[in-house]
Amino acid sequence: MADLFHASGMQHGLLLTSQPSLTRVHLRPPSPTHQQHIRAQFELSPSGLESSSVQRANAPRKGRFSRMLRSKSRRNRDGRDSNLVKINLDEQPKGYPRSAVYLNSDKGAALFRRFGDAHSRILLYLQVEITRLEQKLKELDRDDDSKEETRWRVGHSIYLENGRENEARKDLIEELKAKLIEYDDLLLRDTQLRQLKRPSKRGHQNFFDWMWTENPFGEGEKSFIFHEQDFVVLDSQYEDSWLDGVMHRIMGHCRKGILRVSLSQQSLHCIYSHITQALFVNPDDQAKTSNPHVHYYSEDRMGTLIKVVVAIVSTALLFIPIFIFLSCHALSVKSMTAITLFFALVFATAISVFTSARRQEVFAATAAYCAVLVVFIGNLQQNAIAIKH
């Protein structure tokens, strides 16, 4: 049997087959993509050339990555991103405008006073006033209850009842109500402010140094920056553990350490500084200011590095004792228990130092860590007993 294929027939979806005794023609309907391709081949412009729009319509579809690159190039050509408003301290007038932009330029820079002393003093005054009104109300109740003709006032509402007058109690209750609303509102607001985290020593020092060197305010208007213990940071996700402080000090050393080393070591520090800047500073951070004394780092990249360090340390603290148990077969149960106790203390200390975990979180993590090691020791002992028998 021989199959015969005609070129033009293939273009139109025809398949010609030949048999010794019979020739049959099988018609295959072309697919929609094939139809568009055929139509584009015969569709000519008035000049006899294929239309460019038809060429673009029938061009092979590229992959997702190619489309992403093409989309990015179009964004660069049409300049749609050129009007995006970005943070730039140098473009703002010196004073309150530049200070406001600085406070909004970084999560750790949004520091504001809580005015805890003022809140407490006003709450104290309100307490005294409310207590005095409360005492007046009790005295009024005793006076009305001691007389037969006014005893009804104690058991009735403060509003008028059948023409009877209860105005004294009504006025006192209204005054007490207003004071309680004012007191409760301020008390709840102060409670919310106290739940905000205080900035770290480093965070307040950066804020204080910027305000002091820039001197953006008029005479006598920057005294609020000296109240270090009264500041709060607005970022609810703000985390500043010992490890965060170490990483930020390393970043500062990369920027300023070149001036504190000998000439023979400057090249090494320069290379290290450039590598660090390339890893932890993005273009948007660099464009925030040209001030040589103000350096911005990417919080996301810094946070990623800290998470990697924490993951490495926690994994090492889990597998080091396991490796010791597997390597030293002559260890007794008491020795394994002592090793477990030592590494549990190290693990709990590492969690407390490297992270901002609360006490119950440290306790739960340490208990889980000890449980893993205890189960592993139990399995080792069972295997040793099975081997002896």
Mind giving me the DSSP string for 291-332? -TT-----HHHHHHHHHHHHHHHHHHHHHHHHHHHHH-TT--
pLDDT at 205 over 80: yes
Q: Which pLDDT belongs to residue 156?
A: 66
Q: Are strands 23-27 and 14-18 parallel, antiparallel or unpaired?
A: antiparallel
Q: Which of 281, 297, 313 is the last residue of a domain?
A: 297
Most confidently modeled of 1-15, 45-59, 305-319?
A: 305-319
Q: Judge if 347 and 309 occupy the same domain.
A: yes
Number of domains in the chain: 4
Q: How confident is the model at residue 364 (pLDDT cuts 50, 70, 90)?
A: very high
What is the span of the domain harbouring residue 133? 115-195
Q: Is residue 235 part of a domain?
A: no
Residue 18 lies in a domain: yes
pLDDT at 140 over 60: yes
Query: Is residue 290 domain-resident?
Result: yes
Residues 254 and 272 sit within 8 Å (Cβ to Cβ): yes
Q: Same structural domain for residues 265 and 326?
A: no
Q: Are residues 355 and 310 in the same domain?
A: yes
Confidence of residue 54 (pLDDT cuts 50, 70, 90): very low
**pLDDT given for residue 262 in this prediction:** 38
At 383, the pLDDT band (50, 70, 90 cuts) reads: confident
| Residue 263 pLDDT > 50 | no
Range scoring the smallest mean pLDDT among 40-44, 135-139, 300-304, 382-386: 40-44
Predicted TM-score (pTM) of this structure? 0.61
Q: Which of 73-77, 154-158, 257-261 has the lowest mean pLDDT?
A: 257-261
In a domain, 104, yes or no: no
**Between residues 255 and 232, the one the model is more confident about:** 232
Cα(205)–Cα(203) distance, integer angstroms: 5
Tell me, yes or no, whether 209 lies in a domain: no
Same-domain pairing of 378 and 331: yes
Q: Are 309 and 381 within one domain?
A: yes
Q: Is 369 domain-assigned?
A: yes
CB atoms near residue 233 (< 10 Å): 21
Q: Does residue 8 register a pLDDT over 60?
A: no
Query: What is the model's pLDDT at position 116?
Result: 94
Kindly state whether residues 187 and 139 are assigned to the same domain: yes
Q: How far apart are CA 265 and CA 276, in angstroms?
A: 17
Strand partners, 2: 18
Lowest mean pLDDT among 16-20, 53-57, 179-183, 207-211: 16-20
* pLDDT at residue number 63: 56
CA nearest neighbour of 41 among 6, 73, 11, 2: 11
pLDDT attached to residue 256: 47
Residue 52: predicted pLDDT: 46
Q: Are residues 355 and 323 in the same domain?
A: yes
Instruction: Say what the pLDDT of residue 208 is.
Output: 92
Q: Mean per-residue pLDDT for 144-170?
A: 69
Is residue 120 predicted with pLDDT exceeding 90? yes
What's the mean pLDDT when you consider all of the chain? 75
Last residue of a domain, one of 248, 268, 297: 297
pLDDT at position 13: 37
Query: Does the pLDDT value for residue 83 go beyond 80?
Result: no
Instruction: Give the span between the Cα atoms of 259 and 270, in whole angstroms.
Output: 10
Indicate the pLDDT class of residue 58, thresholds 50, 70 and 90: low
Question: How much is the pLDDT for 290?
Answer: 78
Measured between its terminal Cα atoms, the distance across the chain in Å is 76
Model pLDDT, residue 253:
61
At 249 the pLDDT is: 74
- Same domain, yes or no: 249 and 288: yes
**Per-residue confidence at 70, pLDDT binned at 50, 70, 90?**
low
